[in-house]
C-alpha cells in the first residue's frame, strides 16, 4: 500500500518501515502537529474519529501552538489532553 500522507511530514522516518495500523498514534500526532489543513483532512478521512481522539488525548508531548486547534477539531477541552495536564503539573522556569 502506498503511504497516503504527505511525505514532508515524515522526512525523518523510513516510510517503508511504517505500518499504518501499528503506528497509527505516531502518524496522527505527527500530522496534527506539523501538517496543514489538507493534511489534517486527509488524516480524518483515513482514521476514524475515535482513534484520532484517543491518540491526541493520550499523547505526552504536543506543540502548544497546535493544542487549541486539535481541541477544536475533536471537540474536547484542552484540560482533557494528557500533554496539557502534564505540562501544568511540571511548570517551566521563567525564561529570564
- What total of structural domains would you count in the chain? 1
Q: Could you list the pLDDT tens digit for every one of the 96 residues in the chain?
A: 588 999 999 999 999 999 999 999 999 999 999 999 999 999 999 999 999 999 999 999 888 889 999 999 999 999 999 988 876 555 666 665
Maximum Cα–Cα distance for the chain, whole Å?
A: 50
Q: How many CA atoms lie within 13 A of 42 on its CB side?
A: 14
Asked if residue 45 is part of any domain, the answer here is yes
- The answer as to whether 37 is a domain residue is yes
Q: pTM here?
A: 0.85
Quick check: is 70 in a domain?
yes
Which helix H or strand E contains 69, and what residues bound it?
helix 64-74
**Residue 94 resides in a domain:** no
Domain span holding position 51? 7-89
Report how far residue 87's alpha carbon sits from residue 11's, in angstroms, rounded to the nearest whole number.
27
Amino acid at each position: 500500500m502506498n503511504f497516503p500522507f504527505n511525505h514532508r511530514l515524515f522526512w525523518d522516518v523510513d516510510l517503508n518501515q511504517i505500518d499504518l495500523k501499528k503506528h497509527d498514534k505516531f502518524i496522527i500526532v505527527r500530522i496534527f502537529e506539523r501538517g496543514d489543513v489538507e493534511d489534517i483532512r486527509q488524516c480524518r478521512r483515513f482514521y476514524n474519529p475515535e482513534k484520532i481522539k484517543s491518540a491526541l488525548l493520550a499523547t505526552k508531548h504536543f506543540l502548544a501552538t497546535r493544542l487549541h486547534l486539535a481541541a477544536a477539531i475533536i471537540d474536547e477541552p484542552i484540560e482533557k489532553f494528557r500533554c496539557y495536564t502534564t505540562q501544568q503539573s511540571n511548570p517551566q522556569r521563567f525564561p529570564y
